[in-house]
């Protein structure tokens, strides 16, 4: 009995100073409703690790508004229903901001839970503007650019900088992301070079075992185009590029951001003349010093470079929110969103960032154009698109 | 003219691939009345056996690093062993149960294998550069034939002939046909059920392994779901060919492959996204006209 009393008083003695200190400086809480298992986990984990890195950096530098940041993670298991539950649980636990999955379909259920509680939801890398005012609501943001912007950037770069005069579009219909990238590409190419210089369009599915008939159609064109734009993602995109090259089509290939990073290049040994807009280079040749600093910090923290260049978006997400909290001097959602909506080319690690009360996604953040050479992606130059997608193009209404 | 020949080559090559998968599905269905959806995962695992099992996105080669003959042998052995293992663990104990129970079991095996691959290799697609030389196209009289398409056609033709010879000329093959006709009767007449069924699985594994290699040479990529589409198509192929009929399965495989390529080629651009809908509509039409499939086995006929 005595020992119990001693233990209890010892516990109280231990707890007391902790609770009183916590009252004075209660930590800021960030929740992560992300996939730690299932197929999406591979896309969530890289930006998540970078986000954690940024949180640690802030804490080390004295915290945010003088308070430390705590974070908790719950696994959505790549299930939409679970994403909703997990989002609600994190919101109930009192988080100040909720980070959600790198995809609109899987991030939106969690983001809606945050919306119900009046909390900000920030997607790691959804490329759909519906992760914003018009879709989830005015408290939802994404750290990525709109998929249309990828297509726009590479269309303009191809026409204006690479002097490509005509193009052929090969569109993967499997997910909406590709269709958006292709829509952006067509709009910008038409604005830049005229609709008649798109010599043809064809479609395929990511899991098609063969694109032989698409290749036959391309080869059968009366005039061969100067380049082929492939809007797809791996593995189907890699398979399409392999089959194009194997069929002797040596035209420059333009692609969208999902095809970035070296991991798939084994599928097409000796690939060259392949160009895409990227967030950053993981291979040490990024012209922007802040990206190389990010790369070095990641290596120091985790002992390896990020597994994907989408990683920097997670880092920058925390950076953007923390900056807005500092300006607003509170974590209260309305005030923070008020500050974020005034961002106009605000310089962050991922690049200049703008939000308005209508748009919570980037439409003209500069891209690093990269090309494949000697079996690796190489930085070419930073390029900012001048054509800006309107709301019709962003939401693909009447397309 | 060259264009039409080219389209036909494309069509037959894809048809051959589907025919190989359909044969594997049809063979197992014949002896066991089981539509084995785990066939998709046999294909996937065969392809993943080419690389070292790690979470790395750029894994070093495992079987893929061996000389061609050993690599091919290795992949075939892995997939055959896997097929036999699933038969022993998941299907043999259920042999006397309802076909729908078997079907559920095959889904369970499929999910298990898929998650196993995800656990070991992660869900991120990977790439392998095997058979690069084969992927390149050769021009024959103005017609472009990628080496791998040619290989697919040759392998399919070869395996088809070998399978027919095996089924017609060897005692085990005859027993297998007997089992497909009437399992109970064949058993009463002394057919070794375990051996025959295991053999059917081993052959389905062999065909699965061949498809793994052909797909990997064609696409250069590894993905969790890589076996799924071919197996879904092959399933439709066995249905329109006539469930339980091997020539039917092969014919059905060719038909869906050819239809898919022809629709992709000749549909106007606006309708092309509905290519798969077109193929499946064709399946429905064939079944409306011939509910038993194109080639009807005597086993499938109603007995009075």
What CATH superfamily classification does A148-282+367-394 receive? Response regulator (3.40.50.2300)
- Which residues from chain B sit within 8 angstroms of residue A218, using beta carbons? none
pLDDT on residue A12: 47
Instruction: Kindly state the helix (H) or strand (E) to which residue B144 belongs, with its residue range.
Output: strand B143-146
| Cβ atoms of residues B97 and B192 within 8 Å | no
What is the number of CB-based contacts under 8 A between chain A and chain B? 133
Pairing verdict, β A274-278 and A376-383: unpaired
Cβ of B220 within 8 Å of Cβ of A242? The answer is yes
Is B298 within 8 Å of chain A by CB?
no
Query: Where do runs of H (alpha helix) occur along chain B?
Result: 2-32, 39-48, 68-86, 99-121, 132-135, 147-169, 171-181, 183-188, 193-219, 228-241, 246-266, 275-289
Q: What would the two tokens of residue A382 be?
A: 């930073």
Q: What would the two tokens of residue B256 be?
A: 């869906």
Domain tally for chain B? 1
Cα separation values, A324 from A64, A75, A327, A332, A348, Å? 11, 27, 5, 11, 12
pLDDT in tens, A11-47: 444 444 444 444 457 999 999 999 998 888 888 999 9
pLDDT in tens, A254-268: 999 999 999 999 999
pLDDT in tens, B264-280: 999 988 888 899 999 98
At residue B32 the predicted structure's pLDDT band, cuts being 50, 70 and 90, is confident
Q: How far apart are CA B32 and CA A250, in angstroms?
A: 49
Task: State how far residue A243 is from chain B, nearest Cα, in angstroms.
Answer: 7
Q: What is the CB neighbour count within 10 angstroms for residue A135?
A: 17
Question: How many residues are present in chain A?
Answer: 399
Q: What is the CB neighbour count within 10 angstroms for residue A357?
A: 12
| Cβ atoms of residues B248 and B294 within 8 Å | yes
CATH class, domain A10-145+288-353, is alpha beta
Task: State how far residue A267 is from chain B, nearest Cα, in angstroms.
Answer: 4
Place of tokens 């910008």: A188
Q: How far apart are CA A322 and CA A55, in angstroms?
A: 9
Q: How far apart are CA A106 and CA A103, in angstroms?
A: 6
Cβ of B219 within 8 Å of Cβ of A267? The answer is yes
| Integer-rounded Cα radius of gyration of chain B | 19
Task: State how far residue B166 is from chain A, nearest Cα, in angstroms.
Answer: 29
Give me the percent of chain A exceeding a pLDDT of 90.
Answer: 88
| Cβ atoms of residues B99 and B33 within 8 Å | yes
Is A40 within 8 Å of chain B by CB?
yes
Please give the angle made by the CA atoms of B109, B112 and B117, to the nearest 5 degrees: 125
Q: What is the CB neighbour count within 10 angstroms for residue A68?
A: 15
Q: How far apart are CA B267 and CA B283, in angstroms?
A: 18
Task: State how far residue B64 is from chain A, nearest Cα, in angstroms.
Answer: 12
Is B278 within 8 Å of chain A by CB?
no
Average the pLDDT over B206-218 and give the result. 95
Segments making up each domain of chain A, as ranges:
10-145+288-353, 148-282+367-394
Q: What would the two tokens of residue B15 be?
A: 């048809």
In this predicted structure, the answer to whether residue B100 has a pLDDT above a threshold of 60 is yes
Interface of B with A in 106-165 (CB under 8 A): 118, 122-129, 132, 135-137, 144, 146, 148-149
Cβ of B219 within 8 Å of Cβ of A262? The answer is no
Q: What is the CB neighbour count within 10 angstroms for residue A334?
A: 12
Among residues A218, A253, A216, A211, which one has the least CA distance to residue B144?
Answer: A216
Cβ of B220 within 8 Å of Cβ of A210? The answer is no
Task: State how far residue B212 is from chain A, nearest Cα, in angstroms.
Answer: 11
Of B13, B144, B220, the CB nearest to A267: B220
Per the structure, the complete domain to which residue B52 belongs is given by 2-300
Is A307 within 8 Å of chain B by CB?
yes
- Which residues from chain B sit within 8 angstroms of residue A214, using beta carbons? 264
Instruction: Write the DSSP symbol of residue B59.
Output: P
- Which residues from chain B sit within 8 angstroms of residue A243, using beta carbons? 135, 146, 218-219
Task: State how far residue B105 is from chain A, nearest Cα, in angstroms.
Answer: 22
At residue B301 the predicted structure's pLDDT band, cuts being 50, 70 and 90, is low
Long-range contacts of A220-224, Cβ-Cβ distance < 8 Å, separation of 24 or more: A220/B3, A220/B6, A221/A168, A223/A166, A223/A199, A224/A251
Is B40 within 8 Å of chain A by CB?
no
A248 phi, psi to nearest 5 deg: 80, 15
Task: State how far residue B132 is from chain A, nearest Cα, in angstroms.
Answer: 8
Is A210 within 8 Å of chain B by CB?
yes
Q: What is the CB neighbour count within 10 angstroms for residue A61?
A: 8
SS3 of residue A169 by DSSP: strand
What ipTM goes with this model?
Answer: 0.90
pLDDT on residue A20: 42
Of B146, B220, B224, the CB nearest to A239: B220
Cβ of B136 within 8 Å of Cβ of A246? The answer is yes
Pairing verdict, β A69-75 and A120-123: unpaired
Average the pLDDT over B251-268 and give the result. 93
* Of the candidate ranges A95-99, B14-18, B46-50, B282-286, the one whose mean pLDDT is the lowest: B282-286
- Which residues from chain A sit within 8 angstroms of residue B273, using beta carbons? 173, 203
Pairing verdict, β B143-146 and B137-140: antiparallel
Helix axes B2-32, B246-266, angle to 10 degrees: 150
pLDDT in tens, B37-95: 999 999 999 999 999 998 888 889 999 999 999 999 999 999 999 999 999 999 999 98
pLDDT on residue B303: 46
Instruction: Kindly state the helix (H) or strand (E) to which residue A92 belongs, with its residue range.
Output: helix A80-92
Q: How far apart are CA A197 and CA A192, in angstroms?
A: 10
With a CB cutoff of 8 Å and minimum separation 6, the contacts of A21 are: none
| Cβ atoms of residues B208 and B195 within 8 Å | no
Of A212, A266, A267, the CB nearest to B14: A212
Residue bearing the bigger pLDDT, A41 or A285: A285
Establish whether domains A10-145+288-353 and A148-282+367-394 are of one fold: yes
Q: What is the dihedral of CA B28, B32, B37, B41, to 10 degrees?
A: -60
Task: State how far residue A213 is from chain B, nearest Cα, in angstroms.
Answer: 6
Among residues B139, B136, B138, B144, which one has the least CA distance to residue B3?
Answer: B144
Cβ of A173 within 8 Å of Cβ of B273? The answer is yes
- Which residues from chain A sit within 8 angstroms of residue B225, using beta carbons? 207
- Which residues from chain B sit within 8 angstroms of residue A239, using beta carbons? 218-221
pLDDT on residue A52: 98
SS3 of residue A386 by DSSP: coil
- Which residues from chain B sit within 8 angstroms of residue A173, using beta carbons? 273
With a CB cutoff of 8 Å and minimum separation 6, the contacts of A9 are: none
pLDDT in tens, B115-125: 999 999 988 89
pLDDT on residue A2: 47
pLDDT in tens, A346-372: 999 999 999 999 999 999 999 999 999
Of A213, A247, A264, the CB nearest to B221: A264
Cβ of A213 within 8 Å of Cβ of B229? The answer is no
Place of tokens 């694109």: A211
């Amino acid at each position: 009995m005595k020992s119990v009393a001693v233990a209890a008083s010892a516990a109280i003695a231990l707890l007391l100073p902790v609770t009183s200190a916590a009252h004075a400086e209660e930590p800021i809480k960030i929740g992560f409703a992300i996939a730690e298992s299932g197929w999406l986990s591979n896309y969530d984990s890289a930006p998540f690790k970078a986000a954690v890195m940024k949180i640690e950096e802030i804490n080390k530098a004295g915290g945010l508004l003088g308070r430390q940041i705590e974070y908790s993670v719950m696994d959505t298991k790549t299930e939409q229903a679970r994403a909703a539950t997990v989002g609600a649980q994190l919101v109930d636990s009192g988080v100040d901001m909720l980070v959600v999955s790198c995809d609109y379909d899987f991030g939106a259920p969690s983001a809606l839970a945050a919306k119900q509680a009046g909390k900000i939801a920030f997607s790691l890398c959804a490329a759909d503007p519906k992760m914003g005012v018009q879709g989830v609501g005015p408290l939802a943001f994404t750290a990525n650019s709109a998929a249309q912007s990828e297509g726009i950037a590479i269309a303009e770069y191809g026409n204006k900088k690479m002097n490509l005069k005509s193009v052929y579009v090969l569109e993967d219909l499997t997910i909406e992301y590709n269709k958006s990238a292709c829509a952006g590409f067509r709009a910008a190419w038409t604005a830049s070079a005229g609709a008649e210089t798109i010599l043809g369009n064809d479609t395929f599915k990511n899991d098609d075992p063969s694109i032989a008939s698409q290749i036959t159609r391309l080869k059968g064109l009366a005039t061969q185009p100067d380049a082929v734009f492939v809007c797809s993602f791996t593995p189907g995109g890699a398979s399409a590029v392999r089959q194009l090259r194997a069929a002797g089509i040596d035209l420059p290939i333009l692609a969208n951001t999902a095809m970035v990073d070296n991991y798939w290049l084994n599928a097409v040994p000796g690939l060259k003349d392949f160009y895409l807009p990227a967030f950053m280079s993981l291979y040490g040749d990024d012209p922007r010093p802040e990206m190389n600093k990010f790369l070095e910090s990641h290596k120091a923290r985790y002992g390896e470079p990020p597994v994907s260049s989408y990683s920097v978006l997670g880092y920058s997400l925390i950076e953007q929110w923390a900056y807005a909290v500092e300006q607003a001097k509170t974590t209260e959602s309305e005030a923070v969103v008020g500050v974020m909506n005034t961002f106009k080319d605000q310089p962050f690690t991922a690049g200049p960032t703008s939000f308005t009360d209508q748009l919570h996604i980037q439409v003209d953040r500069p891209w690093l154009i990269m090309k494949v050479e000697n079996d690796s992606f190489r930085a070419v130059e930073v390029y900012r698109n001048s054509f800006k997608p309107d709301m019709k193009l962003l939401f693909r209404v009447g397309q | 003219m060259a264009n039409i020949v080219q389209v036909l080559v494309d069509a037959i090559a894809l048809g051959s691939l589907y025919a190989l998968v359909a044969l594997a599905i049809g063979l197992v269905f014949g002896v066991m009345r089981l539509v084995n959806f785990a066939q998709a995962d046999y294909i996937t695992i065969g392809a993943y056996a080419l690389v070292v099992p790690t979470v790395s996105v750029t894994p070093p080669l495992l079987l893929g690093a061996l000389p061609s003959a050993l690599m091919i042998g290795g992949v075939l052995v892995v997939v055959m062993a896997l097929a036999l293992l699933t038969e022993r663990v998941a299907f043999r104990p259920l042999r006397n149960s309802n076909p729908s129970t078997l079907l559920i079991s095959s889904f369970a095996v499929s999910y298990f294998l898929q998650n196993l691959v995800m656990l070991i290799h992660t869900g991120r697609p990977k790439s392998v550069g095997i058979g690069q030389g084969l992927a390149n196209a050769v021009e024959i009289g103005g017609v472009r034939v990628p080496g791998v398409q040619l290989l697919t056609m040759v392998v399919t033709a070869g395996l088809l002939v070998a399978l027919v010879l095996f089924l017609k000329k060897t005692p085990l093959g005859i027993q297998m046909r007997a089992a497909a006709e009437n399992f109970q009767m064949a058993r009463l007449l002394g057919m070794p059920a375990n051996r025959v069924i295991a053999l059917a699985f081993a052959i389905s594994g062999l065909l699965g392994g061949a498809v793994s290699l052909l797909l990997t040479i064609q696409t250069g990529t590894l993905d969790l779901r890589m076996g799924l589409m071919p197996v879904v198509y092959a399933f439709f192929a066995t249905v329109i060919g006539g469930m339980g009929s091997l020539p039917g399965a092969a014919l059905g495989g060719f038909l869906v492959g050819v239809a898919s390529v022809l629709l992709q080629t000749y549909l106007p651009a606006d309708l092309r996204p509905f290519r798969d809908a077109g193929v499946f509509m064709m399946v429905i039409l064939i079944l409306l006209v011939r509910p038993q499939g194109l080639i009807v086995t005597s086993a499938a006929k109603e007995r009075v």
